[in-house]
A and B are shown apart, each in its own frame.
Chain A
Amino acid sequence: MTEAVLGLFFAGFLVFLVGVYLLLSYRNLLRLVLGVEVLAKGVTLVLLGAGAHLGMTTLIQSLIVTFIIVETILAAVMLAIIVVCHRTNLSLDVRMLSRLRG
């Protein structure tokens, strides 16, 4: 275990925790999307650290590319839903989403 890999793990966990804090503390839908993106950054760092530690950088690289694509599609769909929610509720407050109940 090298210092670099430990640093990657540490930074990844720290970024992940900051993302969890963003998700828990804010009510603005756009800030929640930012929280999800921050979570994804942390996961990418931990994935890279695991790949570097196990000596499988090429394999983990393909997994990171897959993860980035999934993250991007997720962000695009979330932002589209936010635009429609804003047009419906004239607000970005996540609590207003309860009005979408059928």
Chain B
Amino acid sequence: MTLLVGCLVLLVVAVVLLGLFRDLLYSALALAAASVLLSVVLFQFGANIAAVFELSVCAGLITVLFVSTVSLTKDSDQGVESRLPARFLLPMLVVFAAVAYGGSHWLASYLTAPAPPVGAPASFAEAFWGQRGTDVLGQVAIILAGVLGVLAVFRAKLAGGHHD
């Protein structure tokens, strides 16, 4: 329980720091730290496969993609960012915490524990391939759409470059 609370507190701190850092590389590192902490939380609840996905894909792949994009764009707009003055940070977090407190209790009262379904999956494989098999098709379609989208974006740029 102590580890869970610590991870959740550090996760919120990492996310707040992510918004405060001026350097985008530090923000990317804060996002990776948040992903690592989230994967620890997932491990604690027994969601091992999801934790591994979160650790490898979100903390690894997305961070690499993000840092690559930062280096490709060499952002020069950092100075003109509209930022909330630092004195508003604490009141804003207090308001967010109050809304989150109300929202969590509303969700807790909204979700009523159902009777265990008869065909409840015993393992992740059974749930993933058996009950949510259609999701796998959707995932494959989304991956293909993403690859085609990235190719289309860069190909359009290359075609435009040939016209020039």
Q: Which of A5, A27, A41, A48 lies in contact with B35, CB distance below 8 A?
A: A41
The 9 closest A-B pairs by CB, nearest first: A9-B104, A73-B146, A13-B100, A14-B100, A11-B8, A64-B50, A62-B128, A10-B104, A61-B47
Q: Which residues of B contact A13 (CB under 8 A)?
A: 99-100, 103-104, 107
Q: Which of A4, A34, A66 lies in contact with B31, CB distance below 8 A?
A: A34
Please determine whether A57 and B46 come into contact, CB atoms closer than 8 angstroms: yes
A93 to B77: give the CA distance in the assembly, Å.
Answer: 7
Indicate whether A83 sits within 8 Å of B73 (C-beta atoms), given known contacts A17-B96, A65-B50, A73-B146.
yes
**B contact patch SS:** helix
Count, chain A residues at interface, CB 8 A: 74
Count, chain B residues at interface, CB 8 A: 84
Residues of A within 8 A of B (CB): 1, 3-19, 21-22, 25-28, 30-31, 33-34, 37-38, 41, 44-46, 48-66, 68-77, 79-84, 86-87, 91-93
